[in-house]
């Protein structure tokens, strides 16, 4: 553990630390051991002009590098936003379908009332993470589970897909947000939310047909579900009629493809500029101060030789750092 901490935290700063020591050593050496013959105004003037020229070149290189990286980030961000918006719309349509399911009569009589009254403060994520011991209600739910043939789990999962905050348990005034926060997407991905539709309405539907009868959904709601499904993926659902199969396929597509991709792209979109860009900016700033402004000021105002030594030492140590 200590070795890993050393590698991750200390090692990246070693080059900068070494360069700092070299810089201090150069300043001390130039001030105390450089022969007086080399400390003439002409010699220092020539060296400072050379230092300024090198610094200007390096600053321009850094500016070009930072601008290129920033442009790449902006271009990538634009492409990401287009894809994120497309996936977000698909999640909107899916959530509209889930909202219809939650409010429908597909559930056994009494199930919704039982969950909403007895476990109204429990959400699917807390139930799945019961082993963390953070929710006594989750343990109670697991102990009492199976009153309705395990479909209580699907009801909780469906409600979780209508949440926008993983800490909430109740859904009130359902609406689709403009964007989905990483925290809720992370929970949906971690617990494969949506896969319950595939499991209960597809893989194991014969076992749960009595508890989850898709025909109990009103016909007008069936038509809405079909409409949302076609908007979500026209090629996949346009030739399908309403049945438990379409619910199963929607759950599988969302849990295995759409939601994980949206989470991955959203995470990428929130990434900051690479550290190398920040390092380049700091180096450029140091070069501008000690490699350009200070030498010019030293020459114009005929400052003491120590200022020349500082400029020389800083630029040389930075060159060694970059190498």
CA distance 91 to 251: 11
The token duo for 248 is: 């199963």
pLDDT digits (tens, 9 = 90+) for 219-275: 999 999 999 999 999 999 999 999 999 999 999 999 999 999 999 999 988 776 778
- Supply the DSSP string of 220-256, one letter for each residue: HHHHHHHHHHHHH-HHHHTTPPSSHHHHHHHHHHIII
Write down how long the chain is: 323
Q: Confidence class of residue 320 from pLDDT cuts 50, 70 and 90?
A: confident
The token duo for 83 is: 């894809």
pLDDT at 54 exceeding the cut of 80: yes
pLDDT digits (tens, 9 = 90+) for 97-149: 999 999 999 999 999 999 999 999 999 999 999 877 778 898 888 887 667 87
pLDDT at 73 exceeding the cut of 80: no
pLDDT at 60 exceeding the cut of 70: yes
Which residue do the tokens 């060694």 mark?
Answer: 320
* CA distances for 148 relative to 115, 172, 245, angstroms: 11, 24, 21
Which residue do the tokens 């800490």 mark?
Answer: 167
pLDDT given for residue 80 in this prediction: 86
* CA distances for 249 relative to 27, 252, 291, angstroms: 71, 5, 64
Percentage of the chain modeled with pLDDT above 70: 94
CA distance 206 to 203: 8
Q: Confidence class of residue 1 from pLDDT cuts 50, 70 and 90?
A: very low
CA distance 195 to 256: 8
pLDDT digits (tens, 9 = 90+) for 192-202: 999 999 999 99
Helix residue ranges, H only, 104-218: 111-118, 124-128, 136-144, 151-160, 182-190, 195-198, 205-208
Indicate the pTM of the whole model. Answer: 0.71
Which residue do the tokens 């949506």 mark?
Answer: 194
Spell 88-115 as b/e; 16+ CB within 10 A means b. bebbbbbbbbbbbbbebebbbeebbebb
Q: 25-39, 152-166, 302-316: which range is least confident on average?
A: 25-39
């Amino acid at each position: 553990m200590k070795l890993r901490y050393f590698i991750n935290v200390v090692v990246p700063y070693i080059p900068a630390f070494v360069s700092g020591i070299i810089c201090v050593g150069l300043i001390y050496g130039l001030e105390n051991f450089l022969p007086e013959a080399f400390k003439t105004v002409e010699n220092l003037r020539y060296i400072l002009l050379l230092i300024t020229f090198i610094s200007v070149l390096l600053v321009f290189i850094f500016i070009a590098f930072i601008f290129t990286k920033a442009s790449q980030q902006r271009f990538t961000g634009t492409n990401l936003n287009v894809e994120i918006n497309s996936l977000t719309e698909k999640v909107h349509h899916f959530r509209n379908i889930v909202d219809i399911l939650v409010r429908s009569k597909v559930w056994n009589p009494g199930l919704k009332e039982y969950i909403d009254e007895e476990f109204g403060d429990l959400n699917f994520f807390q139930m799945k993470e019961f082993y963390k011991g953070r929710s006594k209600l989750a343990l109670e739910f697991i102990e009492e589970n199976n009153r309705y043939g395990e479909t209580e789990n699907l009801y909780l999962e469906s409600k979780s897909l209508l949440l926008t905050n993983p800490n909430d348990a109740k859904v009130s005034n359902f609406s689709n947000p403009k964007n989905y926060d990483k925290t809720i997407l992370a929970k949906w991905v971690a617990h494969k939310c949506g896969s319950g539709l595939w499991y209960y309405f597809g893989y194991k539907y014969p076992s749960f047909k009595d508890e989850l009868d898709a025909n109990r959904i009103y016909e007008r709601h069936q038509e809405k579900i079909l409409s949302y499904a076609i908007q979500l993926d026209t090629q996949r659902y346009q030739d399908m009629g309403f049945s438990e199969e379409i619910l199963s396929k929607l759950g599988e597509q969302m849990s295995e493809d759409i939601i994980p991709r949206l989470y991955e792209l959203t995470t990428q979109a929130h990434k900051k500029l690479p550290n190398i860009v920040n390092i380049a900016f700091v180096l450029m700033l140091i070069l501008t101060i000690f490699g350009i402004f200070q030498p010019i000021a030293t020459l114009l105002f005929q400052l003491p030789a120590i200022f020349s030594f500082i400029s020389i030492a800083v630029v040389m140590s930075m060159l060694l750092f970059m190498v």
